[in-house]
Structure 1
């Protein structure tokens, strides 16, 4: 049975390891305070944030092509969902509204995956993605500054909040800050032991939480956000009557979620060596939202912070994400009172560690971009700044435009003409184009580029002077031109052919693909070249070049041509 083109093989599951079990446990524990906090930030019921780590995490990990990606609620998604519901005048505390926006976002993600819109994000350059991923890591860090120090920084953007946070050290709560510092220290000591590295986050969380309880340190606990119910999420029907007012908002949420997830596969490669597939990840997140929305979950997407926790805790296969949802469900059922005792500064300290590790992990990519070119560096820095200034859906659109501009600039720079000279032994060597086209000779040039109109000034500057090129034949190799070239390139080729004709010479195109040949005929360029002025690509390498040169030599020797009279 043949598979659908582009569908790819089914996800690999592999065997769950002990590290996957412990990683899933650590990630599940993190989902309690982090999910509830993110839901509270967005004005939702904190319990909805808690349940966002159960069904979506399991379904997403079962179906995603990025093996270690954990699908759950993020702060950006929560804030975007809040904005969407506010614009529609809907109550974010109504479970039916939450179910509807989650299901609708899932439908959009699913359609984008099935229609293979992931190819759009594949055009985003490494420089832009590096800036975007680093900016998200900064967002993760700034999102827990209050939990880690007890001070809520002010500012109109992330960088301004970091500055405000650093300049108000006296406003930090001492007990909260000390707990966060001790948490980071315990993690660092545990992480330094190779055998404990995989569970360093979990060890730090448990030891410091127990220490805070024994010492009676007065800090905010998970239970201060909301009570954790000892129950599993139940079915909730969406309020379908509100569907028309949320259609555009669902697209915005989907864009934010997919933009965040787009940074995970390059940041966290698959341990099994399998290739990621953004379309399959889109589809997986869509299925996770469809299923989760019906079971009390807020809109979800690939979470860089939760994935970072899973990886830092030793995740090896997709079972880590599956176990995170299972463990969270079991913890809610059996240990809800104990989970409520986890101090928020502990979570804040460990999320600072996760964000710091994500930035540290991008250092090589950052240095690579810095050493590549100033245009790539500018794109990376601008994307990073925009990620801290704008909404994520706006940033990813700007990033895509930047990538397109970067591609066009680089492509235009690489476009060139080069001469092919015979070596006498049946081979050819390359050389710069001659400044003037010699009369009565065959000159071979190759056009390398992607047929962008922006290339033409550069190509024109390399084009030989055709003044006095009587009986000269210029064979232009066009094998590198795309099947459907720019109309500007077709127009330019026509002008060059006419120019040579007026001087008593002619232009021959060699190596044209069938699709390019169709364009040449459909646009009428063949009438200006003449039937003998087009040599299609041949199966044998170099055959079309040899044929074009032979035609040119015969044309010069005979001194006549029915299509191009002398």
Structure 2
């Protein structure tokens, strides 16, 4: 219930609003609307929904989030990823595309997404966002970009075919190229060229709005529909009507809704954190779950599609000067004005132009630079990114999410089950110990003393692996005393303690000794509660490696038998 208690009747930013922010918020909201509205219309077509659904999504969820969300600049409508996931789910449920059935299925899917996010907020599951690693998310987004571009190619070229798997769609597109509409291709590529030039030379200009307006004017002025250019068609004017979900579809839609909910939250919290300023409250993950959940649930009842925070539109909102969620309210009001006054103009909007807008902004999801950066740092994680990308392309978007989650969890399990263990030496003239390496041949070793440092938590899943790494180091060293420096170990579980007890018994049987050093208070308390403490006694547990070195040198000076070779 703590999550609910933090929701006030008025939002947090309103209590602390400063008058000078108003002009910046209004201008940012107007600028963001110029980007959000054309993209929302395009994303509705990706999902196979009527274009006016994009307007509803740019209005209702945006308003609800503004009064509940914790991120001041986050712009909440829909995104390319969510649109393609919705298309996958709705296409399976309503393959015929019947408008009434599609509206009910969309309302059900969006309501399920909202309910799942709200439930996750009540269960305080905000930490789940941290379970998808960045390389896997990079790969997933790249896969989504590829799927979206292939999905939009028919609209760019004026080609029609029955859609299927990724390779089927590619093959059908290539086969249909001889039947492409020259006028449609010309308009699509002029749109893309205009977007590139506007972004390159006037990055602050509302590029999507300008190209959409120009395309509408061109259709009306030159009669492009008579030359094969397909347009959106009639767009109903007026406020969105109440849309009742069909709960009988919930059983079929819940797996897709779960994947969409995960991606909505992941994208939203990532964008919220990325564009948060130092002088603003940090976005709260559980509050974001609640806000996006209610935004989806509310939007579902008024014809909106699945919603979430978009990175590109949030970037525009922030760069345009947004200080609070008032900017989002302004954007929603502009969307409402378009519904009421400018809907007839939407009928002339070419599908090719919308597809070009989608492709232009979707390509940014595929970032070769990010892949190169991952490869430069860690080849293994580069493979994870490629796996996630291939999962989306070859298996589908929902299955790609599952692949991404499985790969992330596998990566986590792999890292947790393989903690490093390495031998240490001392830098001459200091009390600093570092990993033994041929690059530092002058580092000091202590004959008969082996210093080992494991890192990370030692528990049942990796205790055996730690033991396997220690054994060869002990065999190669001919040491009489083995010291485990546990300063980098934050927790030791029962299985690991049992392993240490068994190791001490083997060492003792071979005339060797086990010492421990650098135990943090938690690990020390755990050791003292086990039989190992009685075996070692305080004499064989040390504050740090420097104390170990001093004790060892005392034993050597006394000629103690423990450090003498047999």
* TM-score bin (small chain): 0.7 to 0.9
| Superposed CA offset, 1:246-285 (max 9, x none) | 2684353132243255356657931746666554443332
Aligned to 2:519: 512
**TM-score, scaled relative to structure 2:** 0.78
Displacement of 1:108: 0.9
Kept in 2, the 8 Å contact 1:148–1:180? The answer is yes
Displacement of 1:366: 2.0
Determine which of 500, 503, 506 is the counterpart of 1:496: 503
Determine which of 228, 246, 250 is the counterpart of 1:246: 250
2:36 aligned counterpart, secondary structure: helix
Task: Sort the Cα spacing of 1:496 and 1:261 in 2 relative to 1 into closer, same or farther, 3 A.
Answer: same
Displacement of 1:421: 3.8
- Summarize the alignment of residues 159-174 of structure 1 with structure 2, pairs less than 5 Å apart: 160-174=168-182
Displacement of 1:215: 0.4
Greater shift, 517-526 or 106-115, is seen at 517-526
Determine which of 52, 75, 78 is the counterpart of 2:83: 75
Task: Sort the Cα spacing of 1:247 and 1:289 in 2 relative to 1 into closer, same or farther, 3 A.
Answer: farther
Task: Sort the Cα spacing of 1:520 and 1:94 in 2 relative to 1 into closer, same or farther, 3 A.
Answer: same
Q: Is 1:255 aligned to residue 263 of structure 2?
A: no
Kept in 2, the 8 Å contact 1:91–1:97? The answer is no
Aligned to 1:177: 185
1:287 aligned counterpart, secondary structure: helix
- Summarize the alignment of residues 131-530 of structure 1 with structure 2, pairs less than 5 Å apart: 131-152=139-160, 156-158=164-166, 160-194=168-202, 197-218=204-225, 219-223=229-233, 227-236=234-243, 242=247, 246=250, 249-250=253-254, 252-259=256-263, 262-263=266-267, 269-270=274-275, 272=277, 278-303=285-310, 307=312, 311=316, 315-317=320-322, 321-359=328-366, 362-407=367-412, 409=414, 415-421=420-426, 423=428, 427-430=431-434, 432=436, 443-451=450-458, 452-453=462-463, 454-465=465-476, 472-485=480-493, 487=495, 489-522=496-529, 524-530=531-537
Determine which of 16, 41, 60 is the counterpart of 2:25: 16
Aligned to 1:539: none
Determine which of 61, 72, 77 is the counterpart of 1:56: 61
Kept in 2, the 8 Å contact 1:99–1:298? The answer is yes
| Superposed CA offset, 1:57-105 (max 9, x none) | 3323551538344333743342354368579xx9962866654543332
2:137 aligned counterpart, secondary structure: helix
Kept in 1, the 8 Å contact 2:275–2:318? The answer is no
Determine which of 71, 78, 99 is the counterpart of 1:65: 71
Greater shift, 212-221 or 47-56, is seen at 47-56
| Superposed CA offset, 1:217-247 (max 9, x none) | 1122222xxx4332212445656xx37x726
| Superposed CA offset, 1:316-336 (max 9, x none) | 535554433322211111111
Kept in 2, the 8 Å contact 1:222–1:342? The answer is yes
Task: Count residues in correspondence.
Answer: 527
Distance of 1:91 and 1:160 partners within structure 2: 26
Task: Sort the Cα spacing of 1:51 and 1:182 in 2 relative to 1 into closer, same or farther, 3 A.
Answer: same
Distance of 2:407 and 2:184 partners within structure 1: 41
| Superposed CA offset, 1:488-516 (max 9, x none) | x3343223211221123321212223332
Task: Sort the Cα spacing of 1:409 and 1:300 in 2 relative to 1 into closer, same or farther, 3 A.
Answer: same
| Superposed CA offset, 1:128-152 (max 9, x none) | 1111111222233233223222114
1:220 aligned counterpart, secondary structure: coil
2:491 aligned counterpart, secondary structure: coil
Determine which of 94, 106, 112 is the counterpart of 1:104: 112
Distance of 1:346 and 1:445 partners within structure 2: 64
- Runs of 5+ in structure 2 lacking a partner? none
Aligned to 1:564: none
| Superposed CA offset, 1:367-407 (max 9, x none) | 21232333222212121111112343432232233234334
2:275 aligned counterpart, secondary structure: coil
Kept in 1, the 8 Å contact 2:454–2:466? The answer is no
2:454 aligned counterpart, secondary structure: strand
1:476 aligned counterpart, secondary structure: strand
- Runs of 5+ in structure 1 lacking a partner? 536-542, 562-566
Q: Which has the higher helix share?
A: 2
Kept in 2, the 8 Å contact 1:415–1:459? The answer is no
Task: Sort the Cα spacing of 1:161 and 1:132 in 2 relative to 1 into closer, same or farther, 3 A.
Answer: same
Displacement of 1:424: 6.0
Distance of 1:309 and 1:65 partners within structure 2: 10
Distance of 1:310 and 1:344 partners within structure 2: 26
Kept in 2, the 8 Å contact 1:221–1:340? The answer is yes
